[in-house]
Every structure is written in C-alpha cells, then in structure tokens.
Structure 1
C-alpha cells in the first residue's frame, strides 16, 4: 500500500492548500482532551508551528500534553530537578511532534545566512530607494 504524497511546497497545489489552511479557524484540541485556559497560548504556539493539514488527533493529544508541560515549566524553579525533568520532557515532545527548530526553521547551518542578513538589515540605514521598517 502506498501513501499519497504531499505536494511540493513550491507548487500551486500546495499554495492552494496553504491558503485553505490559513482561512480556517484556530485548531482546537480533540473533544476528549481537557486543556486549561492557561495552556492556550502554548497550544497556539505549538499548533501553528506546522501546517494545519499535517496534524492528526494523536498529534493534537501530544500537543496538549506539551502545552501543559510548558505551563508547568513557568512555575518550576529554574535549576531544580522538576525544571530539568520538564525541560527534557518538553524537548522530547517537540521532537515527537516535529515542532523543534530544525523541523520548523531548518538546520542551524542554513540559518546562519538568514541571521546574518537580518542583523545587517538592522544595522543598515539603507538608501532612499529601499523602504525600511522602523520601530516607533
């Protein structure tokens, strides 16, 4: 049995899917998962890290657990055993969900160019032909 392949991200079909995903409302946890309101900011950050159509119900259950862990990290004393355990658990869950930096932004070696370009753009006064965004 072969699995249907996802379209390449540089195709018109993928662009259409991306627009359809973006037009939908926020992803909600499955009905059988209880997620406290304090976890919602973490939940949103997690589920918006991947394309909407890649989430399964099982992934969403794991994402809810990760949101709970992130909330617990806020109250754990930094450097404590609890903080260390929760940090390891959060990292393991992010790898399981493919929402860690390498999965969402790319390899560190590939990010160097983007970081350098952004740093230079912040320091560059530019010229009058290229508009620059400035903080107010």
Structure 2
C-alpha cells in the first residue's frame, strides 16, 4: 500500500522550470521512488532536465545544418563542430544519470536494492494510471 501512495505523489522541482524542462523533470523524477530523492539529488535532477533541453537545442541546430562534414580553410574535411559539442553533452548526461542512479543498470538490474523499490513504485504507478477511477487516491 505504501508504494501505491508514493506513486500518487508528485515532487515539485526546487526551482522554476520551463514547460520543456518540466517534461524532462517528470521523466527523471519518476524513474525512482520519490522518497529516495535528497535535496541535492533534486538539484542535480534540475540540472539534468536543463541539460536534456540543451541537447535538444543543439540537435535541432545540427539538423538544420544539412552537412555532417565541413571543409576547413586548408581544404581538408572535418566533422561539423556541433557533433563534438553534442557528444560532450551526452557524456555529461551519462555521468549525471550515474550520479543520480537513474541509469539502466540502477533501474533495471544489478543495483538490487534500488531495483526492488523502483519496481514496486513503477507497478503502483502503472496500476494507478490504468485504473477505472474507483481506487481511492492520496491528494497532494
């Protein structure tokens, strides 16, 4: 029963986020049990949400730059610099996910303690989302 109550609660970000950042915040926060988020974890989750938006922006910019390769002043071809920027941002994203223990290994395997908690939470959340409105809910 505790897992179903926890799955009904939401966690507000510690600072104001844009609508797009909020979408990422919700995905990040719901990836593990809400009561496991410390204040510093929440701050990191905000930074990760902002990082995802930054990655999206650079990928959109790159999509408008039709060329993957650019010619330098000396005439040699090299990869467009935005590819390197995006690659670095993805490396930061991976590091932040590891720090927050929301990477695949932590949420799906080998981090046995976290896996059970996350699974109970996800099962309760799925049951709530699939219910017919007859289940009593906790109001925030």
For the aligned pair, the TM-score class normalised by the smaller chain equals 0.5 to 0.7
Determine helix, strand or coil for the equivalent of 1:29.
Answer: coil
1:9-46, Cα deviation, whole Å (9 max, x unpaired): xxxxxxx321221122x21112xx23222111111110
Residue aligning to 2:16: 34
Q: Which structure has greater strand proportion? A: 2
Q: Which has the higher helix share?
A: 2
What is the aligned partner in structure 2 of residue 106 from structure 1? 109
Residue in 2 aligned with 1:71?
53
Secondary structure (helix, strand or coil) at the match of 1:34 reads: coil
2:42 aligned with 1:60: yes
In structure 2, stretches of 5+ residues that fail to align are 63-81, 111-140
- With normalisation by structure 1, the TM-score equals 0.60
Under a length normalisation based on structure 2, what TM-score does the superposition of the two structures give?
A: 0.59
Q: Which portions of structure 1, spanning 4 or more consecutive aligned residues, are displaced by more than 6 angstroms?
A: none
Structure 1 alignment gaps of length 5 or more: 1-15, 108-136
Structure having greater relative contact order (Cα 8 Å, sep ≥ 6): 2
Greater alpha carbon shift after TM alignment, 33-42 vs 50-59: 33-42
CA distance in 2, matches of 1:27, 1:82: 31
1:31-66 CA-partner distances (Å, limit 9, x unpaired): xx2322211111111000000110011100000100
